[in-house]
Structure 1
Amino acid sequence: MIKLFLLLGLLVVGIIAGPFIYDKLGYVLISLGNWTVETTMPGLAVALLLLWLLWEGTKWLLSKAFRLSKGSFDLFGSWQSRRQQVAFTKGLVALDEQNFQEAQKQLEKAAKADAFSGVDLLAAAQAALRLNQTDKARELWQKAARQPATELAATLNLVRLALKQENHAEALRLLEGLHDKHKDHPSVVAHWAEALAGLNRWHELKDKLKGWKKHLGMERYDHWMRAAALGTFAEIASKEGANELKARWQTLPRSARKDPAQQAAYVRQLISQDMHNDAVEALVSFLDAPEPGLLALFKDIRAKQPTAALKKLENWLKQDDANIAVLSALGHLAYNAGEYRLAERVITRRLNLQQDKTDMLLLAQIKEATQQPMQALEIYKQTLSGE
């Protein structure tokens, strides 16, 4: 830069001094209409130099003024940003303190600027929800759902709200509108299953469960498999009758008929159709060993002579006489079949191993049925007092 100014200075000196040295100043005439300028070469050089200096000075002043104004704007912007940050912090603290009105007030201040990637909208929606302002909460979640960072969280809140209001179709619409990268999220999958169940779309639910197993976890997967199977069988029974249900069961693939969830749903539907003899027969054929989910179904069966089932349960007790699930199932099945002595013996044994209010009530009913009213009354008192 210094070299440039030195060269420029030498050039100017040469232009001005040259004509004087050779005693030839030259002549310059500039004519614009009626306006003329006459000067020498050195005069023109000086005029051009002054114009250049004036231009550079003007640029420098404008640049300086712009920087000063930008600094003032940045200062104002920084001040505004700090105010929004303070409001956001106060809002979160108030929300945690359950001061929902203050939280709403502060978070609305923070939400005036798009500075928190939608997190402020989520927090404001929670405050509105706690104040029973459901429509306001929905509006805030809808805004947050348009932010990439909060799309999933906001949509899940909208889905939960729709499910709570039993608007399963709306919940499903929201879930289907999510970006593909979110559709394997455990919460998305769980709510999707709930929405399909609410719409009685059992076949679709069963198909989707095949790919959802690892996302749901075994417990929830089993729950929804049972629900889907039960819903499917209930649909068949209600539309086509119990006999068609039995026929349809036989047409299922062997793997489906071996699935405990499918078996439990089938037996429950037989019981709901008052086909208790068919239900107990099915359970006996399904069970090769005590399986808690199926054992519990014996308690709902009211068959008059469930001989094969009673024998199977008693054989299991010979192998393990402390199996509480088998004792309880046998006691209920025997009582419903009118086998009061057997029922009393096994339920007493079961209660000696572990107290249970349901089985205590069953024992009281057995005492009533066998003309032991005082003992029945004493057991009822124990269940009411929690002893």
Structure 2
Amino acid sequence: MKYAWIIVLLLIAGLFIGPLWDGNTGYVLIAVGNYTIETSLVAAVILLVLAVIVLRVIWGFIMRLVRGTAWGMKWFGQRRNSKAQQALTDGATALVHGDRRSASSAFNRSWQLRHDGTVALFASYAAAANEDYPQARKWLQHAPNPTELQLAETLFTLQQHPEQAEQRLTEIKELRQRYPQHPQLLRIALQAYEHLHRWDEVLASLTDAERLEVMTATERSELAERAYRERFLAIGREGPPALAAFWKSLSRDERRTASIRHAYLNVLKTYQLVEAADKIAARGLKRGDLKLAQLLDKQLLVAGIELRDYLQQQLKQHPEDGLLLQAMGQIAIATKEWALAERALRRASELVPSRRVWLDLAKVYSAQGNSQAALAAYEKAELGTH
């Protein structure tokens, strides 16, 4: 405001000094009906400025009187609330469309017009989405429920510094008990549990992860497989009987879940429990609990009698099934039947070419001493070509 007045004064001084210096002050002629007014340009400008100032003073006085009345207070209050609500709506719309900076600006306008705790929460969320955590914390001071400050503070801190999860693990657990419906808290808790290899906590949280939809079905399945694999590995160190007993202790639905079955197969192969892995894979395929394509990609097949019989029966019915041929090729690799493996995998590479097929075929060629063919297969695996 100070600079504006300086500019106005300089302009007025220029109006005075310029014409006087030139010797021509100029004039203004105003004609209204039979009346005329003639004055100098400088005087006209000064009168105009004075008129504007007087009108502003009068208008301000009138508005003050109006605001002092019950009607005026109600009208201006409704006007401010309307503007604040519109700014809040604009901010929410911008947030939905992913424009977080515009949303933050709109929430700030709404707060200036009306100090509403809900607006402060929206503004805090927008600031956190922009990774402006200091500003997000400031907004939280105006939140309607101060007891939620600890929750928000923990969320902001772990988003900004995920490496602090180990020091705040107890706090995370307590907050999960107090806010079991909070998806963002659950997401951060799962990340912390996985980072710290707290697989029991991960498994205990998977049901809530599905209910609150904090991750996709694929992400949830992969996380469950990793967690169960670690659980099976730990129990397997006690010996095969302990591992088998734990598997049987799971519910029927758990044992039929593909991710859990994959994890169990992986650990059975790790501990070279071929007979058990053979039954789990073969019976899972027969019942439709497992998909052959996934077993092939994860290399979970073993050279067991029951699985081999199942695949051979399927090949009699579907001799040109590329996945069945690839499976037979992998089993032949396990039993070092290189000629059989080569025939099956070469045909599979024609029917269902994939990186896994070419890698398996390269392994067969290497075992046969055909380095040139092995190199060509490796190149095709890397390029993903046929």
TM-score band by shorter chain is 0.5 to 0.7
Q: Report the secondary structure of 2:69's partner residue.
A: helix
**Aligned-residue offset at 1:164:** 6.1
Letter in 1 for 2:280: L
Identical positions, percent: 21
Letter in 2 for 1:176: Q
In the alignment, which residue of structure 1 is the partner of 2:177?
176
Q: Counterparts in 2 of 1:144-293, with a 5 A limit? A: 146=145, 161=159, 167=165, 169=169, 170-178=171-179, 226=225, 229-237=228-236, 240-249=237-246, 252=249, 255=252, 258-260=255-257, 261-272=259-270, 274-275=271-272, 277-278=274-275, 280-283=277-280, 286-287=283-284, 289=286, 291-293=289-291
Q: Report the secondary structure of 1:111's partner residue.
A: helix
In the alignment, which residue of structure 1 is the partner of 2:316?
318
In the alignment, which residue of structure 1 is the partner of 2:376?
378
**Aligned-residue offset at 1:357:** 1.9
Unaligned regions of 5+ residues in structure 1, if any?
A: 1-64
How far, CA to CA, are the matches of 1:332 and 1:143 in structure 2?
Answer: 63
2:355–2:380 contact (8 Å) kept in structure 1: no
2:279–2:306 contact (8 Å) kept in structure 1: no
Q: After superposition, give the CA deviation of every residue in 1:214-233 in whole Å (9 maximum; x if it has no partner).
A: 77698777666645543432
**Aligned-residue offset at 1:235:** 3.2
Q: After superposition, give the CA deviation of every residue in 1:250-275 in whole Å (9 maximum; x if it has no partner).
A: 75368378534544332222233x42
How far, CA to CA, are the matches of 2:221 and 2:78 in structure 1?
Answer: 55
In the alignment, which residue of structure 2 is the partner of 1:46?
none
Specify whether residues 284 and 141 from structure 1 end up closer, same or farther in structure 2 by C-alpha distance, changes over 3 A only: same
Rg comparison, structure with higher value: 1
Specify whether residues 266 and 377 from structure 1 end up closer, same or farther in structure 2 by C-alpha distance, changes over 3 A only: closer
Q: After superposition, give the CA deviation of every residue in 1:275-327 in whole Å (9 maximum; x if it has no partner).
A: 25355444356446165357744653696x64554343222222333444433
In the alignment, which residue of structure 1 is the partner of 2:121?
121
**Aligned-residue offset at 1:341:** 2.1
How far, CA to CA, are the matches of 2:248 and 2:185 in structure 1?
Answer: 33
Q: After superposition, give the CA deviation of every residue in 1:22-71 in whole Å (9 maximum; x if it has no partner).
A: xxxxxxxxxxxxxxxxxxxxxxxxxxxxxxxxxxxxxxxxxxx9996222
1:162–1:171 contact (8 Å) kept in structure 2: no
Specify whether residues 286 and 228 from structure 1 end up closer, same or farther in structure 2 by C-alpha distance, changes over 3 A only: farther
Q: Pick one of 310, 329, 336 that aligns with 1:338.
A: 336
Letter in 2 for 1:71: W
Tell me the matched-pair count. 311
In the alignment, which residue of structure 1 is the partner of 2:350?
352
Letter in 1 for 2:362: A
Letter in 1 for 2:368: T
CA RMSD between the two structures: 4.9
In the alignment, which residue of structure 2 is the partner of 1:108?
108
Q: Pick one of 359, 362, 375 that aligns with 1:361.
A: 359
Q: Report the secondary structure of 2:316's partner residue.
A: helix
1:91–1:103 contact (8 Å) kept in structure 2: yes
How far, CA to CA, are the matches of 2:322 and 2:187 in structure 1?
Answer: 33
Letter in 2 for 1:235: A
Specify whether residues 377 and 203 from structure 1 end up closer, same or farther in structure 2 by C-alpha distance, changes over 3 A only: closer
TM-score (norm 2): 0.58
Which of 314-323 and 82-91 deviates more? 82-91
**Aligned-residue offset at 1:85:** 3.9
1:88–1:120 contact (8 Å) kept in structure 2: no
Specify whether residues 99 and 252 from structure 1 end up closer, same or farther in structure 2 by C-alpha distance, changes over 3 A only: closer
2:232–2:267 contact (8 Å) kept in structure 1: yes
1:111–1:120 contact (8 Å) kept in structure 2: yes
How far, CA to CA, are the matches of 2:177 and 2:100 in structure 1?
Answer: 35
Letter in 1 for 2:177: E
Specify whether residues 377 and 208 from structure 1 end up closer, same or farther in structure 2 by C-alpha distance, changes over 3 A only: closer
Q: After superposition, give the CA deviation of every residue in 1:158-193 in whole Å (9 maximum; x if it has no partner).
A: 699499668384554434223xxxx57888888777
Specify whether residues 123 and 227 from structure 1 end up closer, same or farther in structure 2 by C-alpha distance, changes over 3 A only: same
How far, CA to CA, are the matches of 1:139 and 1:91 in structure 2?
Answer: 18
Letter in 2 for 1:133: D
1:328–1:347 contact (8 Å) kept in structure 2: yes
2:330–2:341 contact (8 Å) kept in structure 1: yes
